[in-house]
Amino acid sequence: MYYNASMPKVLTKEQIEQYHDEGFVFPIRVIPEDEALAIAAKIEEAERLYPKEIHAESRNNLHLSFSFLDRLVHNRTVVDAMEDILGPDLALWATVMFIKEPSSKHYVSWHQDATYMGMNDNRFATPWISLSASNTETGCMSMIPGSHIQEIRSHEDTFEKNNILTRGQAIMDVDESSAVDLILEPGEMSIHSGTVIHASKPNRSNNRRVGFALQSYMPPNIKQVVGRNIWTHVRGKQRSDPDDMTLDRPKYDMDPNTVAQRRIANENLAQILYKDSDVKRNY
Ligand SMILES: O=C(O)CCC(=O)C(=O)O
């Protein structure tokens, strides 16, 4: 059963319907363009100041180390939109910063996010906030409308060098003819479901493509069945299963308390995402 918002806060009824029919909805303005570009600049600054904490292979759960990213997780428009789709009680599982450098070969193969997340149910949603221009030249995401309605398809773990998914996991026989390019301006987001098939091509432009994936907001009926329950509480009733660990919010950039929690959360994430795999990458 899907949540049915009687009075949606941010999304229109049509957008909610589109999300359920197609598995994604876009574009939704979250912050002004100049604010998004300022956050992208802060990311570059953080890479210079804290090169061990944030780099291409240290990209998971950066919202625990940097308060300017934590604020996006709790951004009112983002959370209201999540409430419109999932209901009022929300926890966040993880975040991933997907950066594609200018003229680089990195890409994302066709996949469904839920495949290796180890949940008992896959009806969760991921906002992807564009902190740069995201278009066909910079390597935006493309999605197959309606593909979320089927079960998880078989994925092949390729571990291909330029594939920036953890296992380089790929669905091999995707009919791309109906694919939709999710073109976003800086500061806009898309929202996609845990089971929609999506991918992205390399960045052929001279600029960075920066996408912050808040993967994923979970309603309370969704439980972790592989690995530990580690959550960022976002809104409404807090999860309280005996073995839940609730993460704190950083009080400032590089808050040692949440930097330490990030290590624990990332180790747990790696155990979940690489379960039963002989190969492990550093992200
Ligand atoms: O940023 C990208 O190009 C892909 C991101 C993605 O696959 C996701 O957020 O689920």
In the predicted model, is pLDDT for residue 266 greater than 90? yes
Q: Cα(82)–Cα(30) distance, rounded to whole angstroms?
A: 12
Question: Is there a domain that residue 38 lies in?
Answer: yes
Whether the bond into 109 is cis, omega within 30 of 0: no
Question: Is there a domain that residue 116 lies in?
Answer: yes
In the predicted model, is pLDDT for residue 281 greater than 90? no
If 0-12 CB within 10 Å is exposed, 13-18 middle and 19+ buried, where does residue 178 land? exposed
Confidence of residue 1 (pLDDT cuts 50, 70, 90): low
Written as one letter, the residue type at 161 is: K
Confidence of residue 232 (pLDDT cuts 50, 70, 90): very high
Task: Give me the phi and psi of 163, to 5 degrees please.
Answer: -85, 120
Q: Cα(216)–Cα(124) distance, rounded to whole angstroms?
A: 6
In the predicted model, is pLDDT for residue 20 greater than 90? yes
Mean pLDDT of the 246-264 span: 98
At residue 132, the pLDDT reads 98
pTM of the complete model beyond 0.85? yes
Q: Cα(133)–Cα(207) distance, rounded to whole angstroms?
A: 9
Confidence of residue 88 (pLDDT cuts 50, 70, 90): very high
139 CA: nearest ligand 1 atom: 3
211 CA: nearest ligand 1 atom: 1
Structural domain tally of the chain? Answer: 1
6 Cα to the center of ligand 1, angstroms: 30
Which residues have C-beta atoms less than 6 Å from ligand 1? 98, 108, 113, 126, 128, 141, 198, 200, 211, 213, 215
Pocket test for ligand 1, best of 95, 97, 128, 169 (most atoms within 8 A of CB): 128
In the predicted model, is pLDDT for residue 79 greater than 70? yes
If 0-12 CB within 10 Å is exposed, 13-18 middle and 19+ buried, where does residue 99 land? buried
Confidence of residue 222 (pLDDT cuts 50, 70, 90): very high
In the predicted model, is pLDDT for residue 280 greater than 90? no
Question: Is there a domain that residue 208 lies in?
Answer: yes
Q: Cα(158)–Cα(166) distance, rounded to whole angstroms?
A: 10
Question: Is there a domain that residue 1 lies in?
Answer: no
At residue 171, the pLDDT reads 96
In the predicted model, is pLDDT for residue 2 greater than 80? no
Mean pLDDT of the 3-22 span: 95
Question: Is there a domain that residue 281 lies in?
Answer: no
At residue 80, the pLDDT reads 98
- Please provide the average confidence, as pLDDT, over all residues in the chain: 96
Q: Cα(7)–Cα(194) distance, rounded to whole angstroms?
A: 24
Question: Is there a domain that residue 133 lies in?
Answer: yes
Residues 6+ apart with CB under 8 A from 33: 185, 186, 187
CATH label of the domain that carries residue 234: 2.60.120.620
Confidence of residue 249 (pLDDT cuts 50, 70, 90): very high
Question: Is there a domain that residue 35 lies in?
Answer: yes
Mean pLDDT of the 152-172 span: 93
Listed range (45-49, 92-96, 104-108, 277-281) with the worst mean pLDDT: 277-281
Residue 223 domain boundaries: 13-273
The pLDDT tens digits of the residues spanning 25-76 come to 999 999 999 999 999 999 999 999 999 999 999 999 999 999 999 999 999 9
213 CA: nearest ligand 1 atom: 9
At residue 282, the pLDDT reads 84
Question: Is there a domain that residue 34 lies in?
Answer: yes
Q: Is the CB of residue 236 less than 8 Å from the CB of residue 147?
A: no
Mean pLDDT of the 8-30 span: 97
Percent of the chain with pLDDT over 90: 92
